A and B are shown apart, each in its own frame.
Chain A
Amino acid sequence: MVNDMLIFIDIARQIMGIGALLLGSLAILIGALGLLRLGDVYQRMHGAGIIDTGGAGLVLLGLLLLSPDWTVAVRIALIGGLLIMTSPTATHAIARAARFSGVEPILSTDSKEKEG
């Protein structure tokens, strides 16, 4: 009885881990498309933000659910905490440096697109 319960928990953990990995892959692809197709530095930061939060968070959650050992899980949690702390700081620094060095954001929603 307890053995059946453990097998069920293991299968559910693997299914949830694979689902999180696939959703994270989808988020990474969407963020990369945004990084390629959007028109401005400040708009492209949305794509980078999708990769940094949604993609990295979901892929690391999937690996955390699929981890075979608790030391591996601790290391994945360490990487996740590090990415959560550092990547918004880096994106904020890029936006601040771009703003202070005179890169103007696209503010109007007209049909004409400014290149750069």
Chain B
Amino acid sequence: MTLTLWFGVTLASIGVSIIIAILRASLGPTAFDRVLAVNTIGTLVVLSICVYGFFDGRPEFLDIAVLYALINFIGTIAILKFFRHGTLGDHLPPEDKHHG
């Protein structure tokens, strides 16, 4: 079917963008560049799960995409709270960073 070609094109561009975001996450100078890149990778993985479900003709993958979007958001907020109150906290001593 001819729709598979366009799903493949979309998957290829999402893959290239994931590679570029991995590059940014590996060479980002601050920690927030890495968190931003990882959040972007999560969004792109959600999109690629959706498009791959259509590419393969099995749209049941969308449930996994819903779960991955939720986990991506919770993970980003958790990492930022760890940065804020752990290593870069303003009123916690820096020796308390190994709690969680």
Contact = CB atoms under 8 A, between A and B. Distances in A.
A31 B83 CA distance: 26
Interface string B16-54: 110011011000011011011101100110110011001
Contacts of A24: 10
B16 A29 contact: yes
Nearest to A75: B62
Given A48-B40, A82-B69, A93 B47 contact: no
Contacts, number: 143
Which secondary structure dominates chain B's binding surface? Answer: helix
Interface residues of A, number: 52
B16 A66 contact: no
A14 to B, nearest CB: 7
B12 to A, nearest CB: 8
Contacts of A35: 20-21, 24, 36-37, 40
Given A44-B36, A59-B51, A86-B72, 8 more contacts: A35-B37, A59-B50, A68-B59, A75-B59, A83-B43, A90-B77, A93-B80, A101-B84
A51 B80 contact: no
Nearest to B88: A101
Interface string A18-34: 10011011101101110
A21 B7 contact: yes
Contact of B84 (A45, A87, A97): A97
